[in-house]
Amino acid sequence: MKHFLQKLGKSLLIPIAALPAAGLLLRLSAVDMLDIPLFQASGVILNNMDILIAIGIAMGLANTKDKGIPALTGFLAVSVLQEGLGILNQNLDMSVFGGVVAGLVAAFIYNRFHQTRLPSMFAFFGGEKFPITMIILVMIPIAGLFSVVWPYAQSGIDAFSQMLVGLGAFGIFVFGFFNRFLLPFGLHHVMNTYVYFGLGRFETASRETVTGEITRFLNGDPAAGYFLGGFFVTMMFGIPAIALAITRAARTKKKETKALMSSGAATSLITGITEPIEFTFLFTSPLLYFLHSVYTGLAGMVLYLLGIRHGFSWGAGAIDYALNLNLSDRGLLLIPVGLAFFVLYYVTFYLVITKRNVPVIGREQDAEAPAKSEPGTMHSGYETIAANILQHIGGRENVIACDNCMTRLRMKLTDTSLADETKLKQAGAHGVIKIGRHDIQIVIGPGAAHVKRELENIIERES
């Protein structure tokens, strides 16, 4: 189950890759900004997240390197589901959950039937093409089943949504806390998907109903954004404060530590990607990471109590903050709140690191210097980093499969015990997570996709 949830979380990142361009174009072309109606077409991405999620899950869970047929299978699955529900009950809308169901069924059908052999006269429809036929036949009765079941499920989901929203500040605290707390396991994406794209409903001026905090916020819902705003505090102020505390607490290799922390802080501030900093203290001090999770929840809670509402299209960095400021409520007040949290983060982390002698970067005993070439910032270092990682995970023979999300390599190995965590970190990894005997995640940073590609090139050359 843990392995399945890991793969599901990774799969949900595939459609999210479309959000930066879609969200930024939608906001920039709005009436209160550049007013370019044609560019508003990018909003179709946000309004069809169920289709993208179905395709992403089918691709991510399919046991094949060629993802084309699984993607088509996922699209057919969600299309038949939507049409079937519309025929039987036009008032039903499974939204993001329809995408999840369709994607899971599509992945199962592909993995089960992609090697099916048919008689010679039907051979064209066999093999990898057979799931295309099967998914249509399977999804029709599934659509019929959900036309009966979904009204009850929808009532339960609506009740949960109302409960979460009804909890007010505490509900926002809980979401923020678990968003960080589940990040080391890659499971936060599963929870985020519902809140971002399924929580609540809003009818736009064009009489279209949209769901989810992100979609509702960008479409002008005055009740959306409370579950999102706290992340601006964490990513624009909290993470840089942590980086400063680690830098100031360093006893050795201060220049290397400062360079690494500065890069990670800038990445978080501008793009909202936090893992390069978080994984420098996650395993060395679970106490600090617990406090970080608490502060993330507390940030959202404070903004809610102060009536500050803000949102983003893909990441709570400075770009989204500036672009969406006109859609916010009291968005400028987020800055003084952020500065207060900067002080809270810095004082807490500096005192815990120094008083408890936490062996973060710059305070390790007899440790080698942090990697000088930060992955994601120096293209020339990708091949070297990939070669070193391959060496320290047991070589090509130990690799079964390799994939990546925005910041991590997600690998399946014959034996994870052969992976040397210390040497992997010296090779450029920010963190290493072993999940059982076969699965491992190696936190690289924004350059994870480049490292993965070089890793595959090296494996192919050595084969």
Q: In 310-338, which positions are buried (b, 16+ CB within 10 angstroms) versus exposed (e)?
A: bbbbbbbbbbbbebbeebbeebeebeebb
Q: What does the pLDDT average to over 431-444? A: 82
Of 436, 388, 444, 431, give the one whose Cα is nearest residue 416: 436
Task: Give whichever of 28-32, 196-200, 276-280, 328-332 has the largest mean pLDDT.
Answer: 328-332
Please tell me which residue, 427 or 138, carries the higher pLDDT value: 138
Is 304 found in the same domain as 182?
A: yes
Cβ 450 vs Cβ 376: under 8 Å? yes
Is 336 found in the same domain as 257?
A: yes
Is 124 found in the same domain as 82?
A: yes
**Count of domains forming the chain:** 3
Model confidence at 42: pLDDT above 80: yes
Per-residue pLDDT band for 43 (boundaries 50, 70, 90) equals confident
Tell me what pLDDT residue 224 has: 92
**Residue range 204-252, pLDDT digits in tens:** 888 888 888 998 998 889 999 999 999 999 999 999 999 999 999 988 8
Is 413 found in the same domain as 359?
A: no
Is 366 found in the same domain as 240?
A: yes
Structural domain including 440 reads 379-462
Is 195 found in the same domain as 91?
A: no
Per-residue pLDDT band for 364 (boundaries 50, 70, 90) equals low
Is 311 found in the same domain as 289?
A: yes
402 is catalytic: no
Tell me what pLDDT residue 109 has: 95
Is 192 found in the same domain as 141?
A: no
Is 146 found in the same domain as 120?
A: yes
Burial of 35 (0-12, 13-18, 19+ CB in 10 A): exposed
Instruction: Examine the fold and report which residue of 138, 158, 178 is the final residue of a domain before the chain moves on.
Output: 158
Catalytic residue (choose from 62, 405, 409, 443): 405
Is 204 found in the same domain as 339?
A: yes
Tell me what pLDDT residue 134 has: 94
Tell me what pLDDT residue 304 has: 96
Six-digit token string for 365: 């005993």
E strand or H helix that includes residue 432: strand 431-435
Six-digit token string for 351: 């005192």
Model confidence at 365: pLDDT above 60: no
Instruction: Examine the fold and report which residue of 158, 186, 207 is the final residue of a domain before the chain moves on.
Output: 158
Instruction: Examine the fold and report which residue of 370, 393, 427 is the final residue of a domain before the chain moves on.
Output: 370
Is 183 found in the same domain as 326?
A: yes
Q: Which CATH number goes with the domain that contains 396?
A: 3.30.1360.60
Please state the pTM of the whole predicted model: 0.69
